[in-house]
Amino acid sequence: MEKVSYQDKLDFSKAKKPEIISQIEMRPLSKEKIKKAKEAIRKLKESWMGQQEDTNAVEPIYDKLYYQALEIMEEEDLVEISGVAEIKLD
């Protein structure tokens, strides 16, 4: 199917079904290799957890000014002003 151009007719007469791969037999791992693999996984997990703790140690998003603004907004409401304003255009 190399060198095929747009709208060329494709010839599938030479197509073959893929060969079925027989099951691969693996030798069982020795106890020593299993032990080493478990140790490597444990170390990887510990390093990953350590990195997670480092990312949680980020400085807070809000600073002192933010909290001061919250206190001001939570104070008593301002006295309501009523009346009519006149606007003069010269």
pLDDT score for 25 = 87
Domain contains 48: yes
Range of the domain at 46: 29-56
Give me 40's structure tokens.
């490597």
pLDDT score for 57 = 63
Domain contains 77: no
Q: Are 34 and 28 in contact (CB under 8 A)?
A: no
Domain contains 45: yes
pLDDT score for 19 = 87
10-residue block means of pLDDT along the chain (90 residues)? 83 86 88 95 89 69 88 81 86
The total of structural domains in the chain comes to 1
Domain contains 49: yes
Rounded-to-integer distance, Cα 88 and Cα 41, Å: 79
Domain contains 75: no
pLDDT score for 55 = 67
